[in-house]
Homo-oligomer: A and B are copies of this chain.
Amino acid sequence: MATDQRAKADTLSLRQRLLSSSCRLFFPEDPVKIVRGQGQYLYDEQGGEYIDCINNVAHVGHCHPLVVQAAHEQNQVLNTNSRYLHDNIVDYAQRLSETLPEKLCVFYFLNSGSEANDLALRLARQYTGHQDVVVLDHAYHGHLSSLIDISPYKFRYLDGQKEWVHVAPLPDTYRGPYREDHPNPAVAYANEVKRVVSNAQEKGRKIAAFFMESLPSVGGQIIPPAGYFSQVAEHIHRAGGVFVADEIQVGFGRVGKHFWAFQLQGEDFVPDIVTMGKSIGNGHPIACVATTQAVSRAFEATGVEYFNTFGGSPVSCAVGLAVLDVLEKEQLQAHATCVGSFLMELLRQQKAKHPIIGDVRGVGLFIGVDLVQDEATRMPATQEADYVITRLKENYILLSADGPGRNILKFKPPMCFSLDNAQLVVTKLDAILTDMEEKVRSCETLRLQPCSVKHPPGSTGPGCRAAAGSRPS
C-alpha cells in the first residue's frame, strides 16, 4: 500500500535520488504530479484537470471502469502462465484474428511492444535465414538492445549504425525528397527502399525484414502515400525478406476508418508480421505478435520453446478482451473518425491563420501539426514547438512535439477525446500562436530591447534570440 501522499517537492527529490535520470520526466523544469486519471483527463495533486492529447496507451480512456472490472474479476480467480490451458488466451487470440486478414492467424502474447518487435525480428530471421533489416529513417521500434539497433532515432546517438541495418528515407511527402507535387510519391519512396536493398545485396548482405510503423510516429506523424506498402513489400519479398507492420502506437481503431493503420494502404496489402502493444491493454502490460502459418512454422521447426512468463496470462487476456469490448460498445473507431475529422478541420483553419503552421496531416485521432520557420523552406520551428507545448501545459493541455526536428505537435489522445476537447484545445492553441506572433512583432519593433519573460524562442530580434537560448530544447 502506498504511504500518504507526499509533497510534490518530496516526490521529486526522492525520484532524483532513486531513479536514473535517463528515465525522463515530461516538462523537466516544472514537472507535473499526476494523481488521478479518468477518460481523457488527468488530475494533478491540487485537483487541476488536464486534457490528455498524447496518451495513446490509455486507449479507451484512463481507468475505464469495464477494463478495471475485468482485471479485478480475473485477478481474484487466477493469474498464471500460459503453460496450462485457459479460455482467455484462446478467446483473445480468436477475437484479434477477427480484426485481421485471414493470413495473419498465429498469435504470440508478450508484455510490451518492445518484446513484440524483438520476437518479430527473431521470427523474420528464422523464417528467411537472413540477418539484415531495412528500416525507415528516424524510426523507433523499442528500448531493447536489438531494437535500438534498428531505430535510427536512437542509434544515431549511441553506438551508430550496425552493418546489418539499412536505412531508407521516410515517405514524408511534406519535407522529404518527394513531395505533394510529385506525380507518384508512393512509387518514388518505394524505389528508395529498392535502392537500399540493392546496395545491401551488392555488399553480400541478405534482407530478413523491413520494419516500419504503419504510420511513422516519432518520425513526425507521417502518413505514407497510398500504395507505398505494396510496392515496398514487393521489393522486400523479392529480396527474400518479410514485411513487419509495427502497429504498437497506431493500431486498434485509432485511424478511424480501419482497425489497423496498415489497412489504409488498401485491401490487397497484408503484412507478414504485425506487432501490437501500448493501446491493447489500456495501460496493462500486454503485447502481441500476429503472423502467418509459414513464418510461425519456420520458428517452430527449430524445436526450441518460446516461453514468456507473463505473456498471455488470464489477467492480461481478460484485460485485452475488455478493451476490445469497450471499443465495440462505445463505437470508438467511428468516434475517432468523427472527432479526428473535426479536429483536422479546426487545425486547418489555424493553418490558414498562422503562417507557423506549415502542414496539418493525420487520420482519425493520429494527427500532426508541423511548425515551420518559413513556409518556403519548411525549416522546422523546433524552439517554437517547445514553447507552444509548455504554454499549452500551463493551460492544462498535455501535448508533445516530435519528429526529426522536434517541431511536430503530436495528437494521439485517448479514443474518447471529444468534439468539445478538440474545440477547446484548438482555441487555446490559437491564442498561444496569436500571442506568440504579437510578441515577435513587438520584439521586432523594439529591436535592441530584451523581451519579456514568456516570449517565443527563435524569434528574429536580438533580444529574443538571447532569451531563446536560455531554454534548453
Q: Hey, which bits of chain A sit against chain B, CB under 8 A? A: 1-3, 5-6, 8, 11-12, 14-15, 17-26, 31-37, 42, 55, 57-58, 62-63, 65, 68, 70-72, 74-91, 93-94, 97, 105-108, 111-115, 118-119, 121-122, 143-146, 148, 154, 157-158, 277-278, 283-285, 296, 299-300, 302-310, 312-313, 315-316, 318, 321-322, 325
In the complex, 24 of the A-B residue pairs with CB atoms within 8 angstroms, ordered by the A residue number, are: A1-B70, A1-B321, A2-B318, A14-B93, A15-B89, A18-B94, A19-B107, A22-B108, A22-B299, A22-B306, A26-B84, A37-B80, A42-B80, A57-B81, A63-B75, A68-B75, A71-B72, A79-B284, A115-B143, A143-B306, A158-B304, A277-B309, A278-B309, A285-B316
Contact B84–A32 (Cβ < 8 Å): yes
Additional 7 contacts, C-beta under 8 A, given A17-B105, A33-B84, A158-B302: A1-B321, A15-B89, A18-B106, A20-B306, A33-B86, A143-B308, A284-B315
Contact B91–A34 (Cβ < 8 Å): no
Contact B112–A310 (Cβ < 8 Å): yes
A108 to B23, CA, bound (A): 8
Question: Which residues from chain B contact A143 at a C-beta distance below 8 Å?
Answer: 115, 119, 306-308
Question: Which residues from chain B contact A34 at a C-beta distance below 8 Å?
Answer: 78, 80, 84-86
A15 to B78, CA, bound (A): 19
Contact B79–A20 (Cβ < 8 Å): no
Question: Which residues from chain B contact A302 at a C-beta distance below 8 Å?
Answer: 22, 157-158
Contact B6–A305 (Cβ < 8 Å): no
A23 to B57, CA, bound (A): 27
Q: How far, in Å, is A52 (CB) from chain B's closest CB?
A: 8
Question: Which residues from chain B contact A11 at a C-beta distance below 8 Å?
Answer: 85-87, 90
Contact A79–B63 (Cβ < 8 Å): yes
A302 to B154, CA, bound (A): 11
Question: Which residues from chain B contact A304 at a C-beta distance below 8 Å?
Answer: 22, 154, 157-158
Contact A122–B145 (Cβ < 8 Å): yes
Known: A33-B84, A75-B63. A90 touches B22 (CB 8 A): no
Q: Which of B18, B77, B86, B105 contacts A97 (CB 8 A)?
A: B18
Known: A106-B20, A108-B20. A31 touches B78 (CB 8 A): no
Q: How far, in Å, is A99 (CB) from chain B's closest CB?
A: 13
Q: How far, in Å, is A87 (CB) from chain B's closest CB?
A: 5
Question: Which residues from chain B contact A3 at a C-beta distance below 8 Å?
Answer: 87, 91
Q: How far, in Å, is A164 (CB) from chain B's closest CB?
A: 12
Interface centre among A74, A82, A87, A148 (most CB of B within 10 A): A87
Question: Which residues from chain B contact A32 at a C-beta distance below 8 Å?
Answer: 84-85
Q: How far, in Å, is A145 (CB) from chain B's closest CB?
A: 4
A89 to B34, CA, bound (A): 12
Contact B321–A2 (Cβ < 8 Å): yes
Contact B283–A21 (Cβ < 8 Å): no
Known: A145-B121, A300-B20. A285 touches B111 (CB 8 A): yes
Question: Which residues from chain B contact A305 at a C-beta distance below 8 Å?
Answer: 22-24
Contact B299–A20 (Cβ < 8 Å): yes
Contact A14–B90 (Cβ < 8 Å): yes
Question: Which residues from chain B contact A6 at a C-beta distance below 8 Å?
Answer: 87, 90
A97 to B143, CA, bound (A): 24
Question: Which residues from chain B contact A93 at a C-beta distance below 8 Å?
Answer: 14, 18-19
Contact A79–B108 (Cβ < 8 Å): no
Contact A111–B108 (Cβ < 8 Å): no
Q: How far, in Å, is A351 (CB) from chain B's closest CB?
A: 29
Contact B89–A76 (Cβ < 8 Å): no
Q: How far, in Å, is A74 (CB) from chain B's closest CB?
A: 8
Contact A1–B325 (Cβ < 8 Å): yes
Q: How far, in Å, is A403 (CB) from chain B's closest CB?
A: 16
